[in-house]
Amino acid sequence: MSIIQLKDAKNIASEKLDDWGTPKTIGEPVCHLKGIQIIENEDGSEGGIWECTPGKFTREIMQAELTTFLEGHCIFHPENGDPIEIKAGDVLFFPENSKGVWEIIETVRKAYLCYNLNPG
């Protein structure tokens, strides 16, 4: 595999991102997902750029995730724990099986890597 670089990922026009559809939204407004998948491996790990418009939905990724928020504002409501306010520049690590609800306040964009901590 060669090195992959996305220049100025924060400023890639939203229209240039792939349409990833609508998650199972909780109430109104209805969120919409877009992104670019940069890597995808046979073990299920993947990484890329993810964007979501305002609304609420349940987190469905059960892999571990390391993510850097490039823009926007949201709150993650963990199933067990206090809400986590997230803004551009924040870096988060979600352990495997992190459950909760995303509350997107203003469109967010993040660079992410999802992977299995204990493959096999």
pLDDT in tens, 49-97: 999 999 999 998 889 999 999 999 999 999 999 999 999 999 999 999 9
Q: Which structural domain range is residue 76 located in?
A: 16-115
In a domain, 94, yes or no: yes
- Asked if residue 24 is part of any domain, the answer here is yes
**In terms of pLDDT, which residue wins out, 43 or 103?**
103
Query: Sign of torsion, CA 87 3 15 13?
Result: positive
Average pLDDT score over the chain: 94
Encoded tokens for 63: 């892999």
Best CA proximity match to 76, nearest among 59, 93, 54: 59
Domain tally for the chain? Answer: 1
Asked if the structure places residue 120 within a domain, the reply is: no
Tokens of residue 5, six digits:
């670089």
Our CA dihedral for 89, 31, 48, 86, rounded to 10 degrees, sits at: 20
120 pLDDT band, cuts 50/70/90, is: low
Q: What is the DSSP letter of 107?
A: E
Closest CA to 106 of 57, 72, 75, 58: 72
CATH number (domain holding residue 30): 2.60.120.10
Q: What is the DSSP letter of 25?
A: B
